[in-house]
């Protein structure tokens, strides 16, 4: 891509419609990244003046300790030079040299900024490659099955996602649908989820019992996964022309059945995958009538936070459901996602958001 030039770039930046919101979001990100929960609680109990000084100091302290050791020392030198405000001069036989410590301080800070930006851009390029690979593994369209209206949706909070939304054909007239969530975010969670997705595709056809399938999945994750990583997973199978759905839940939020203007939260499942090899799973059967829907969702919906730190939570989700009566699966999904987006407003998403809607049409 050809460079627009310095002047045109600055002019383009100034003409952005969301410039103020972008700056506000960046400042909130700095606040969330560098301050822990205890510091935030202490700030909330201070008056405005004291809070301003304390927050500035704690932000600088948080930034200082996140630098590498070499960059911390450079920054410390820059602070000393900036506060001294002195000049150094050298008068030799053939030339004289005068240096302003404040200028040297500025140059050091600029070098540190360039190094940090370089690290970020290199990591970002790698994440973009990971994002393309992950997108290639995810379904590009919604599956079609006689008697069913299926809608799948996932949106990552960062470049790559730790959520899994996928489907697979089981025999000639069945469809398997999965929604999973690996603990944590970022590249590590995405790699773990890719392995779980590949495992599910590889062994799903070998099991008639969904409980046995999930037990096998769990043993594989315990054997091959990381001790600190576990994953929740809901796997459901539907058949063409039938309203009987089979599903198994490994530690995920219980799916919700929408019937008319009412809803029913299904029973909780067994432990998540990767916690213990001894976990046992139970297959559930759900009978859906024409017009009924099943909603499977990730914690990116209920844990979504607005700028005040409030969660969307289960209560807001359940209050939304009666108004979804008679809608298609896509309309139901977009209403839920839209409600979450309106709730969080300008706040940056804090977790991956995924949703699966299975609606019986016959």
pTM, to two decimals:
0.75
Report how far residue 217's alpha carbon sits from residue 169's, in angstroms, rounded to the nearest whole number: 18
DSSP H stretches of helix in 67-186: 69-84, 101-137
DSSP for residue 206? G
Question: Percent of the chain, pLDDT > 90?
Answer: 52
Residue 124 has pLDDT above 70, yes or no: yes
Helix (H, G, I), strand (E, B) or coil at 312: coil
Domain architecture of the chain: domains with CATH: 21-133 (no CATH), 139-360 (3.60.40.10)
Q: How confident is the model at residue 138 (pLDDT cuts 50, 70, 90)?
A: confident
Report how far residue 253's alpha carbon sits from residue 250's, in angstroms, rounded to the nearest whole number: 9
Q: How confident is the model at residue 4 (pLDDT cuts 50, 70, 90)?
A: low
Per-residue pLDDT of 111-123, as tens digits, reads: 999 999 898 888 7
- Of 149, 181, 340, 161, which Cα lies nearest the Cα of 253? 181
Cα 78 from chain centroid (whole Å) = 36
Question: Is the model more confident about 266 or about 163?
Answer: 266
Q: How confident is the model at residue 47 (pLDDT cuts 50, 70, 90)?
A: very high
Residue 356 has pLDDT above 90, yes or no: yes
Report how far residue 104's alpha carbon sits from residue 341's, in angstroms, rounded to the nearest whole number: 46
DSSP for 113-132, written as a single string: HHHHHHHHHHHHHHHHHHHH
Averaged confidence pLDDT in the chain: 87
Report how far residue 325's alpha carbon sits from residue 83's, in angstroms, rounded to the nearest whole number: 66
Report how far residue 33's alpha carbon sits from residue 43's, in angstroms, rounded to the nearest whole number: 15
């Amino acid at each position: 891509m050809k460079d627009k030039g310095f002047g045109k770039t600055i002019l383009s930046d100034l003409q952005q419609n969301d410039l103020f919101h972008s700056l506000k979001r960046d400042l909130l990100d700095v606040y969330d990244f560098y301050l822990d929960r205890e510091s935030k609680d202490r700030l909330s109990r201070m008056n405005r003046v004291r809070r301003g000084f304390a927050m500035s100091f704690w932000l600088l302290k948080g930034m200082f300790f996140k630098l590498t050791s070499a960059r911390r020392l450079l920054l410390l030198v820059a602070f000393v030079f900036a506060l001294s405000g002195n000049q150094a001069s050298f008068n030799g036989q053939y030339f004289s040299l005068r240096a302003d410590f404040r200028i040297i301080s500025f140059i050091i800070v600029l070098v540190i900024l360039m190094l940090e930006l370089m690290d970020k851009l290199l990591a970002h390029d790698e994440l973009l490659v990971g994002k393309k690979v992950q997108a290639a593994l995810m379904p590009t369209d919604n599956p079609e099955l006689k008697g069913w209206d299926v809608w799948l949706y996932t949106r990552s909070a960062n470049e790559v996602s730790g959520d899994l939304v996928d489907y697979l054909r089981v025999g000639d007239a069945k469809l398997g649908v999965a929604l999973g969530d690996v603990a944590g975010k970022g590249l590590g969670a995405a790699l773990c989820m890719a392995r779980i997705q590949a495992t599910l595709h590889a062994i799903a056809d070998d099991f008639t019992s969904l409980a046995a399938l999930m037990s096998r999945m769990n043993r594989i994750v315990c054997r091959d996964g990381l001790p600190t990583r576990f994953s929740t997973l809901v796997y459901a199978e539907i058949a063409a022309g039938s309203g009987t759905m089979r599903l198994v839940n490994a530690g995920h939020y219980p799916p919700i059945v929408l019937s008319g203007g009412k809803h029913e939260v299904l029973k909780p499942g067994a432990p998540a995958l990767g916690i213990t090899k001894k976990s046992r799973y139970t297959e559930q059967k759900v009978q859906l009538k024409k017009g009924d829907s099943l909603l499977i969702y990730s914690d990116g919906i209920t844990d979504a936070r607005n700028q005040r730190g409030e969660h969307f939570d289960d209560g807001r989700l359940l209050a939304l459901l009666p108004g979804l009566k008679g809608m298609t699966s896509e309309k139901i999904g977009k209403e839920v996602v839209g409600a979450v987006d309106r709730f969080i407003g300008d706040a940056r998403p804090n977790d991956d958001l995924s949703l699966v809607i299975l609606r019986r049409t016959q």
